[in-house]
Structure 1
Amino acid sequence: MRRYLAAGLAAVTAICSEAAMADDDITTLTVLEAARAIAEKKLTSTELVEALVAKTGEDRGNVYITFDSEGALAAAAEADAKVKTGAPLGPLHGIPIVVKDNIAAAGLPATGGTPALKDWIPADDAPVLAKLRDAGAIVLGKTNLHELAFGITSNNAAFGAVANAYDPARFAGGSSGGTGAAVGARLAPAGLGTDTGGSVRIPSALNGVTGLRPTTGRYPAEGIIPISLTRDTPGPIARSVADLALLDTVITGAPDDLQAVALTGIRLGVPAKLAGNVSPETDRLFTAALDTLEKAGATLVPVDIGNEVDLSNKAGFPIALWEVKRDLAAFLDKHETGVSLEDIAAKAASPDVKFVFDNLVLGDQAIPDEVYTASMTTLRPLVQSGYADVFAANKLDALAFPTTPLPAQAIATSDRTVSLNGEEVPTFNTFIRNTDPASIAGIPGLTLPIGLTSDGLPVGLELDGPAHSDRHLLSVGLAIEAALPVMPAPSAN
C-alpha cells in the first residue's frame, strides 16, 4: 500500500509534509503526510501524539467522551520502537485517529452518547476499527455524538454540546459531531464516524473536512451500536480525499492505485431539488464551485430526482424507527451489555431523543409493521431503481449539490428550528434534506469543502455516485478537490 498514489501526488505530499514540520505545526499534517514522515524517520509517532494531546488541552469543546492520551502515548512508543527495527510498516503506522463513541474500541467505554451505556466497555474492536489498527493506527479517544446517533447537531444533553471547529458557538453537526470537529480543529488527522441519514457527511461539511458514506454493506457494521441495519454504515472522516481513499483501501482491501480522473471527461448531475432553497452564502459558494469545475472541463447536467427524494422521505423514518426497536435490542443482548431497550429510553438525556424513544419507538406512535413492510418492499426499491436510472440515462459520474442547505447554526437557539431564507424550519429535517435520500438508496456519498462563508463557516459539496462506484467517486473527488481552493484551517489554529 506504500505506493498508494501517483508519483505527482506523492511529491506534493512530501513537500507539504516538510513545510508543515518546518513550521513546527505537525498537527496540520494529513494522514498521508504523517505516515510518510514517520516511515522516513523524519517524525515519530510520539511527537505527533504529544503535539495533538497538547493542542487538545483541557478545554476540548466536548469533542471527546473518553480521551485516552495515556493509551495513545503508549501505543505511539511501541510504534516508534517498531520503526527502529526496520520491520515492514502498515500504511497507517503510528497515525493517531479518533473513533465515534458508538463504535466498539477494546478496553474503552462505548457509550453511544447515552447514560444507560456509560459503563459498557467492549472487549473487542469493531471490525472496521480493527482493520485500521491492524494497519498501524492509534486511537486517541472516543468522540462525542448526538445521543444514540439520533440527531444532526451533536447537542448532547448527557456529555455536552460539541463545538464547531470554526466557531465554538455553533454546533458541530451530527451525529458524528465529535469526529468531525476533532478533524476540523486539527486535533486528529482522521477518524471514524457512522452515517444513517447524513451523520458522516453533515459534520464533515460543517467542520470543513472530507467525509465518505460508502455503499451500504461495503464496510463491516458489526460492533457498532445500531439504529437501522438497512441504513447504517461506518464511514471515514479526514482532511483530504486522498486520505479518505487510503482509509477506504485499508478497510476494504481495494487496490491502492487510485488516481484522479480528468475533469474534462466527467459528467456531474445537478438536481434542482437539492441545489435550490439554500442559504445565500451556500448558494454563492456552490455556484462558484460549479463555475470552476465547468471551466476546467466538467459537464454539468441538470437532472430531476424529485420523485426519488419524495419516495425516500416517505420510506426513511419508518425504516429507521421500526428497525431500531429490533436492531438495538438485539445488539444490547448479543453484546451482554446488561442494558435493555427500556433502560435506554428511561435514561435518555436529550429531550429530542427521549421523545423519539418514548413515543415513536416504544410508545403508541410506533411504526406499524405494515408501514415498515411497504417501505422496504415497495418504496425503497423504487428509490434505488430511480437513482440507478438517473445515473444511467444521463451517463453521470456523480450528482453534485450542497451537502447541507445552510452552514452550522448557533448551539443555543437551534435545537428545534433554524431560519432558512426568512422561514423558520425544523433543524433536523432541514439538515438531512440533501443527505438522507442517498442513505435510503444505499449509494455512496462523498463531501468535500468548497470554502468559507462571509462569517467564516465551512460549506460542503456532496457528490453521490451509483451503488458500488465508491472508488470511482473518490477518483472524481480527487480531481474536484485539486481544482478548488485549499480550505483554510480554523483561525484559532
Structure 2
Amino acid sequence: MARRSHSLRNRTATLAVGVVLATHLLPVVTATGGGSADGDRVAAGRIARWVVDADATGLGELLADGRVTSVGLVRAYQARIDSYEQAYADQPGVNAVIREDPGALAVAAGLDAERRRGHVRGPLHGIPILLKDNYDTANLPTSNGSLALRHWRTADDAEQVARLREAGAIVVAKTNLHEFASGIETVSSLGGQTRNPYDQARHPGGSSGGTGAGLAAAFGAVGLGSDTCGSVRNPAAHNSLVGLRPSLGLSSRDGIAPLSDTQDVGGPLAKSVRDIALVLDATAGYDPDDPSTTASIGRVPPTYTAALDDTALDDARIGVLTDYLGTSAPERTTTELVRAAVRTMAGRGATVVDLPPQPALMAAVDASWLINDEHERDLDRYLAAPGSRYPRSLARLEPPADRVTLADIVTSGQVTPTVLERLKTRLGRSTGPQDDYHQRLARRAEARELLRALMADNDLDALVYPTVPRPAALIGQREEGGRACALAANTGFPALTVPAGFTPDGLPVGVELLGAPFSEPTLLGLGFDYEQATHHRRPPPSTPPLTSHR
C-alpha cells in the first residue's frame, strides 16, 4: 500500500471478523441513555446491526423515535472504520478512507442538542455521510487522492457539501478515489488501493470507489461521488448500491475538483432509491457559482420523494439498449441478470421494447470524448480559486510561480504512475490547436439529438442496459468499465443505477435506467418500483455487524 501523508485515529489491535472490543460500542449506548451492562451490550448490538442494515431513511426514523442519537451513529461508524479499514483476520482491509473528520462527534452532539430542543432540519438531520476527496471541505484538506495535493486547503466547502451540512448531515470521512478521478480501479498515491467489501481481492469500481466501498462496508449512511464517465454508477453497481448521475446542470459542481467541465457532475450513492431522493432534495438547484445550474431553474420539484411510487412501472415504456448487452463469456452473467431485471419490470406493468442496434448513436457518443481536451484548462482554473492554501514549493516547480497548475503536479512526480502518464498526455491540450476539440463538441451535439430522437420515436420513459458489462475485476487485472458510461456522460442525460442481483459467486451487478434531461423524478419512480419488487441489495459478508465481548 502507498504510504499515507495523514494520520488516522489510533487503531486498535487487529480484531477478529465481526468482533470489536466492548469499549468501542458502549459509548454509543451511553449516548442513548444506556442502562445495565447486559442491557448496554444488547443495545450496542442493535446499533451495530442498524448501521449495516438500515438506510439513511431508516436511521432518520430511529433518530426521530429516540432509539439512537447522532453521536451514537458516528461512534458506530467510527468503530467500523477502526475494525475494517486496515488488515484484520484473513482480510487485507477495505482501505476506503483517506481522512476521518476529527470534528464529527462534536457536530453530532450539536445536532443532537438541536433535536432535543425540537429543531429538526429535515430527514438528513444527524445522518453521517462520506465524501469523495475531490469535494472541497474548509475544515479538511482536499487531496484528489494525490500526494502532490495532500496539503491542499480550500477557502470553503463545495456547494453540495455546504447544502448537506445545512440539512444536518455529518461528514464522517473523506474517501479514496482513483487519483484525479482518472480511472476506475480506485488506486491513488495518497490512499493506495481501495478494495471491494464483497470480495476484497477485487476492485470496488471507480473513480468514486472509496465512497462506494465505504458505504457498502457501512462506514457512513450515504455519500457523494463525482461522475465524468461512470464514476458514480460504476462503484454503485460493484457495491450493490444505488447511484445517480444527475442531469448536467441539476446540481452544482462548484468546489468539486474537475476532470472535464462539459462532462462532470456530482451525484449521490446510497443504499436505497429513497435516500438518493433525500440527497437530491438537499443539493439540487441553482447556484450562481456554477452557471450550468441555470438550466435547473423551474425544473426542481418541491421534493423528489413525491416521485417514489411502487406502481411507477405500470404503463411505463422501457427501451432495452441491446448495443450494451454483452455476449462474451465474462459478460453473459451480467446480461442475464439485466434481462431478468427487464422481465421484472415487464411483470410490474412496463411495456418493454428491444431496440435494434444504433450504430449512428454509438459512433457519435464514442467520438465525443473531451476529457483530454479539457482537464488541464478546468483543473488549473479550480486550483487558482481565491483563498486556496498550498506549499509554495509546489507552485514554483513550473511557471507561473505564484499558483499551482497541472504542470506543477506532473513535474512533482507525486502521482501514481499510471495516472501520471495520463496527466502528461493532457499537458498543452487545452492551449493547443482546437479544431479537433470543436469537432468532438459537434459530435456531442449530434449524439444528444440522436438520443432524444430515439426516445421520442419509441415513446420511451427510459432506456435500460447494464451499468457495467461484467463484475468487478481482480486487483491486478484491468477493470472493464465498458462503453455504457459514455451515453449519459457525453450527452448530459441523467442515469440511475440500482442493484440487479448477484452473480453465482456473490458479486453485485447493477442495471441502469437513462432518461431525458431533468427526468430524475421519472427515473427515481421507476427505480423505486423495481427496488421494492426485488430488494436485491444485501450487505457484504466480509464486513459484518460488529459484536461486543468482554
1:92 Cα deviation after fit: 0.8
1:63 aligns with 2:129: no
1:388 Cα deviation after fit: 0.6
2:491 is matched with 441
Tell me, yes or no, if the aligned pair for 2:186 and 2:209 is still in contact at 8 Å.
Answer: yes
1:342 is matched with 407
1:251 Cα deviation after fit: 1.1
1:35 is matched with 60
1:305 Cα deviation after fit: 3.3
Q: Deviations over 1:347-400 (max 9, x none)?
A: 342222111121x21168997411101111x20110101111111111111111
2:471 is matched with 407
Map 1:101-116 → 2, pairs under 5 A: 101-116=133-148
1:474 is matched with 524
Q: Deviations over 1:249-284 (max 9, x none)?
A: 111263222232432211111011112336122122
1:339 Cα deviation after fit: 2.0
Map 1:137-286 → 2, pairs under 5 A: 137-252=169-284, 254-256=301-303, 257-260=306-309, 261-277=311-327, 279-286=331-338
Tell me, yes or no, if the aligned pair for 2:467 and 2:512 is still in contact at 8 Å.
Answer: yes
- Give aligned-pair identity as a percent: 39
Tell me, yes or no, if the aligned pair for 1:308 and 1:437 is still in contact at 8 Å.
Answer: no
Which residue, out of 23, 26, 34, partners 2:50? 26
Specify every segment of 5 or more residues in structure 1 that has no aligned partner in the other structure, as ranges.
1-18, 415-426
Q: Deviations over 1:14-58 (max 9, x none)?
A: xxxxx9985751212211111122123221001111111111115
What is the one-letter code of the residue matched to 1:275? L
1:352 is matched with 418
TM-score, normalised by the number of residues in structure 1: 0.89
Distance in 2 separating the partners of 1:239 and 1:34: 12
Distance in 2 separating the partners of 1:366 and 1:345: 17
Distance in 2 separating the partners of 1:404 and 1:143: 22
1:175 Cα deviation after fit: 0.4
Tell me, yes or no, if the aligned pair for 1:361 and 1:367 is still in contact at 8 Å.
Answer: no
Report the 3-state secondary structure (helix = DSSP H, G, I; strand = E; otherwise coil) of the residue aligned with 2:98.
Answer: strand
What is the one-letter code of the residue matched to 2:302? P
1:301 is matched with 353
Specify every segment of 5 or more residues in structure 2 that has no aligned partner in the other structure, as ranges.
1-42, 86-93, 286-300, 390-402, 545-550
From the superposition, tell whether residues 117 and 284 of structure 1 become closer, same or farther in structure 2 (CA, over 3 Å).
Answer: same
2:377 is matched with 326
Q: Compare 96-105 and 80-89 and name the one that shifted more.
A: 80-89
1:59 Cα deviation after fit: 4.4
From the superposition, tell whether residues 361 and 84 of structure 1 become closer, same or farther in structure 2 (CA, over 3 Å).
Answer: same
From the superposition, tell whether residues 433 and 225 of structure 1 become closer, same or farther in structure 2 (CA, over 3 Å).
Answer: same
1:295 Cα deviation after fit: 2.2
What is the one-letter code of the residue matched to 2:493? I
2:76 is matched with 51
What is the one-letter code of the residue matched to 2:176? N
Tell me, yes or no, if the aligned pair for 2:373 and 2:430 is still in contact at 8 Å.
Answer: no
From the superposition, tell whether residues 364 and 401 of structure 1 become closer, same or farther in structure 2 (CA, over 3 Å).
Answer: closer
Tell me, yes or no, if the aligned pair for 1:321 and 1:367 is still in contact at 8 Å.
Answer: no
What is the one-letter code of the residue matched to 1:341? L
1:164 Cα deviation after fit: 0.6
Tell me, yes or no, if the aligned pair for 1:322 and 1:361 is still in contact at 8 Å.
Answer: yes
Distance in 2 separating the partners of 1:300 and 1:406: 23
Distance in 2 separating the partners of 1:456 and 1:57: 25
Distance in 1 separating the partners of 2:197 and 2:172: 18
Q: Compare 90-99 and 275-284 and name the one that shifted more.
A: 275-284
1:16 is matched with none
Tell me, yes or no, if the aligned pair for 1:321 and 1:366 is still in contact at 8 Å.
Answer: no
Q: Compare 285-294 and 163-172 and name the one that shifted more.
A: 285-294
Report the 3-state secondary structure (helix = DSSP H, G, I; strand = E; otherwise coil) of the residue aligned with 2:541.
Answer: coil
Report the 3-state secondary structure (helix = DSSP H, G, I; strand = E; otherwise coil) of the residue aligned with 2:408.
Answer: helix
Report the 3-state secondary structure (helix = DSSP H, G, I; strand = E; otherwise coil) of the residue aligned with 1:400.
Answer: strand
Tell me, yes or no, if the aligned pair for 1:404 and 1:460 is still in contact at 8 Å.
Answer: yes
Which residue, out of 498, 514, 537, partners 1:487? 537
Structure richer in helix, relative to its length: 1
Distance in 2 separating the partners of 1:392 and 1:485: 31
Tell me, yes or no, if the aligned pair for 1:151 and 1:175 is still in contact at 8 Å.
Answer: yes
Report the 3-state secondary structure (helix = DSSP H, G, I; strand = E; otherwise coil) of the residue aligned with 1:431.
Answer: coil
Distance in 2 separating the partners of 1:153 and 1:485: 27
Q: Deviations over 1:47-84 (max 9, x none)?
A: 1111111111154122011112x311111111111111
1:311 is matched with 364
Tell me, yes or no, if the aligned pair for 1:90 and 1:134 is still in contact at 8 Å.
Answer: no
Tell me, yes or no, if the aligned pair for 1:112 and 1:225 is still in contact at 8 Å.
Answer: yes
Residues paired across the two proteins, number: 456
2:481 is matched with 431
Tell me, yes or no, if the aligned pair for 2:368 and 2:440 is still in contact at 8 Å.
Answer: yes
Which residue, out of 103, 106, 109, partners 1:74? 106
